[in-house]
Amino acid sequence: MATHLAARLVWHERGWDGRICNAPKDNGWCIRYEWVREARDDQAEAQRCGKPVTQDVLPPCQHDTNAFASRGQYAIQHRDPLYRRFLSPTSETIEPFSFVTAPFERMREEGAWVYDPEEQEQL
């Protein structure tokens, strides 16, 4: 059986090496994704340029930063993506060479935001 994974990562000029971008304020791709745009703190990130991502230093693109990092890990919190407040937050450790995936094709389908618990259990 052949398998294929296509991932959409927030652009990272250091190559997703587990470090903060060298020039985070100049990265226009950060504003493309809502979850990154809303969590940006340009002033704080400017002070962390090039520093490793740690539990104490989590950038807004924390889902992608370790994609090609050979070391380092940190935990992130996932919250209900539909903001309905009935899914409990859960944490996940992002290991080296790891990133968080999202079902982009399914998200584009008409009615994809209608939550069906039975369908979710089948995925």
In the chain, domain spans = 24-111
- Tell me the three state secondary structure of residue 52: strand
* pLDDT exceeds cutoff 70 at 79: yes
* pLDDT exceeds cutoff 80 at 36: yes
Q: Which residue has the higher pLDDT, 62 or 108?
A: 62
Contact between 36 and 18 (Cβ < 8 Å): no
* pLDDT exceeds cutoff 90 at 116: no
pLDDT-based confidence at 1, cuts 50/70/90?
Answer: low
3-state percent breakdown (helix, strand, coil) of the chain, nearest 5: 25, 10, 65
Query: Which pLDDT score, from 0 to 100, does residue 87 have?
Result: 82
Query: Which pLDDT score, from 0 to 100, does residue 96 have?
Result: 95
Dihedral of alpha carbons 51, 54, 57, 62, sign: positive
Tell me the mean pLDDT in the region 58-85.
Answer: 86
* pLDDT exceeds cutoff 80 at 112: no
Select from 64, 5, 75 the least CA-distant residue to 30.
Answer: 64
